[in-house]
Amino acid sequence: MTDTIGAGLGPLAQAEKEYLMQTFKRQPLELVRGDRWNVYDPEGREFLDFVAGIAVNVLGHNHPALVEAVTRQAKDAIHVSDLYYSRPQVELAKRLNELGFKGRVFYANSGAEANECAFKVARKWGKENRYGAFDIISTNQSFHGRTLATVAATGQPKYQKPFLPMPTGFGHVGYNDIAALKEATDERTVAVLLEPVQGESGIVPATKEYMTAVRQWCDDKNLLLIFDEVQTGVGRTGHFYAFQGYDVVPDIVTLAKGLGGGVPIGVCLAGPRADVLAHGDHGSTFGGNPLACAAALAVIDTIERDGVIENARVVGAYLEQRLRQLADEFGCVAEVRGAGLMVAMLLDRDIAGELEAAALEHGLLVNAIGPRVIRMVPPLIIGKAEVDRAIDILAQSLDLILGQVGLPRPQAPA
Ligand code: PLP
């Protein structure tokens, strides 16, 4: 075993560079195995996983219920075409209704694809209900995916710049700013697209007043309201659908990341007002295959049986509380914010990358999003003991970094 994490990476890193498009900047770590909230490198070192595949592994790694469901389904049929009926598809759609959104489902394989479906629904609905209106208004700093249309919907020019010109029909206004939305709405507007909590740009929750006002505005102006719950959905914020925490129901909702617990699946649910797609309007070869649906059904069964959503709420509140204690101890932690187990720690200086690296060295995976924000989206099954372990590592890491840059180290209380 080498002493330094990532020391044995050389040939793999070289081959990655040779054979894979260089779209991802990787941490110096190979992961080969996981168990609940821990992941392991080839040499057996253990890391506490507060990244969870970026909010994907809601049941952690290697969860017996998920492994059993996927194994059982794989023995029957991994894939059958949507040309035929498939029971897991129907069962999953029914469960998604029972969990709190009345609507019909289109199955895709990722968050971006789920959103693409929502855009097509909105455009068709605009033709039939709003004289051909097709503009979708989303928000600055939003994130909706990496296909061309979802990049156009994403309110971050850096993702668009290399690929200009963008597809038309997308505009952006300030988040949590109802006046800006009203100002931007015109006769071409067909829908408003929102994340209930902005994920990629630093875990920024919408306010309740804003969500209520947006719903009212969409009703007043005959617009569709689309919630992108690709990251917030499936219990992440302490509700199955994050909108349940706001008492605001959209016309369309999209889910992906957590739904299959790691098996790729995306869904677009359209409520009765928006349910306009008909035979031939949309499709996906893999979408809703029995393997992905069986995985999602096992995730939902487990969430319900084990009280996972309640756990996300309780342990999420504990994580925020412990991070606030850390902020009291270390002046460089400026703010802590989040919802459920979707939590960000904001720093007052550009050390997020260093902190991510130091935490990794000490056995904790967290995700630096931008120079000053650390995102934590752990499995929803962690307990308070895992939070305590993470806080200890963050404290050690901050201590190290502050020492390195010559800033005062926190003093232990007398
Ligand atoms: N929408 C939101 C809110 C997301 O956070 C993401 C991914 O991070 C996406 C859409 C895109 O999902 P995918 O990467 O599965 O296409």
Tokens in use for 185? 């709405």
CA proximity to 246, closest of 199, 211, 204:
211
| CA separation for the pair 396, 386 (Å, rounded) | 15
Global pTM?
0.96
Q: Which residue has the tokens 């393997």?
A: 291
Judge whether 145 and 110 are in contact, CB under 8 Å: yes
**Structure-token match 């929502």, residue found:** 118
What is the C-alpha to C-alpha distance for residues 24 and 144, in angstroms, rounded to an integer?
A: 18
- CA-based angle 65:70:72, to the nearest 5? 95
CB crowding 106-132: b at 16 or more within 10 Å, else e: bbbbbbbbbbbbbbbbbbbbbeebbee
What CA–CA distances, in Å, run from 379 to 26, 292, 308?
A: 21, 19, 10
pLDDT digits (tens, 9 = 90+) for 25-67: 999 999 999 999 999 999 999 999 999 999 999 999 999 999 9
Confirm if 290 and 86 have CB atoms less than 8 A apart: yes
- pLDDT above 90: residue 322: yes
Q: Whose CA is nearest to atom 12 of ligand 1?
A: 111
For the Cβ of 256 lying below 6 angstroms from any atom of ligand 1, the answer is yes
Average pLDDT over residues 109-114: 98
The 10s digit of each residue's pLDDT in 274-301 is 999 999 999 999 999 999 999 999 999 9
Helix, strand, or coil (residue 333)? strand
Tell me which amino acid residue 332 is: C
Per-residue pLDDT for 412 more than 90?
no
Q: What is the pLDDT of residue 265?
A: 98
Centre of ligand 1 from the C-alpha of residue 9, in Å: 29
Report how far residue 374's alpha carbon sits from residue 389's, in angstroms, rounded to the nearest whole number.
17
Write down the pLDDT at residue 407: 58
Q: What is the mean pLDDT of residues 54-82?
A: 98
CA dist 414 and 411 (Å) reads 8
The reply to whether ligand 1 has any atom less than 6 angstroms from the CB of 116 is no
Say which residue the tokens 């952006």 belong to. Answer: 172
Mutate which of 143, 159, 253, 375 for ligand 1 pocket (most atoms within 8 A of beta carbon): 143
d(CA 317, CA 177) in angstroms, rounded, equals 26
* Bridge partners, 253 (sequence order): 227, 269
129-164: pLDDT as tens digits: 999 999 999 999 999 999 999 999 999 999 999 999
Tokens linked to 135: 């503009």
In angstroms, the CA 114 to CA 277 distance is 14
In this prediction, what percent of the chain has a pLDDT beyond 90?
A: 95
> Torsion over CA of 103, 250, 282 and 299, rounded to 10 degrees?
-60
145 CB less than 6 Å from ligand 1?
A: yes
| Lookup: tokens for 315 | 């342990």
> Which amino acid is residue 51, in one-letter code?
V
CB 144 less than 6 A from any atom of ligand 1: yes
Q: Where are the alpha helices (DSSP H) in 306-378?
A: 308-329, 352-361
The DSSP secondary-structure symbol of 62 reads S
| Rounded distance from Cα 92 to ligand 1 centre (Å) | 21
Pairing of strands 373-376, 342-347: antiparallel
Output the six-digit token pair for 143.
């994130």
The pLDDT assigned to 7 comes to: 80
Q: What is the CA radius of gyration of the chain?
A: 22
Q: Is the CB of 258 under 6 A from ligand 1?
A: no
**Could you report the per-residue pLDDT of 327-358, keeping only the tens digit for each?**
999 999 999 999 999 999 999 999 999 999 99
The yes-or-no verdict on residue 411 having pLDDT over 60 is: no
Where residue 91 falls among pLDDT bands split at 50, 70, 90? very high
CA distance 233 to 309: 11
Q: What mean pLDDT comes out for the span 231-248?
A: 98
Q: Measured in angstroms, how far is the CA atom of residue 231 from the centroid of ligand 1?
A: 7
**Which residue, judged by its Cα, is nearest atom 1 of ligand 1?**
144
Residue 143 alpha carbon to ligand 1 centre in Å = 7
What is the distance, to the nearest Å, from the Cα of residue 217 to the centroid of all Cα atoms in its chain? 26
User: Is residue 408 scored above 90 in pLDDT?
Assistant: no
Q: Which ligand 1 atom is the nearest neighbour of the CA of 256? A: 15
Q: Could you tell me if the CB of 260 is within 6 A of ligand 1? A: no
DSSP 56: T
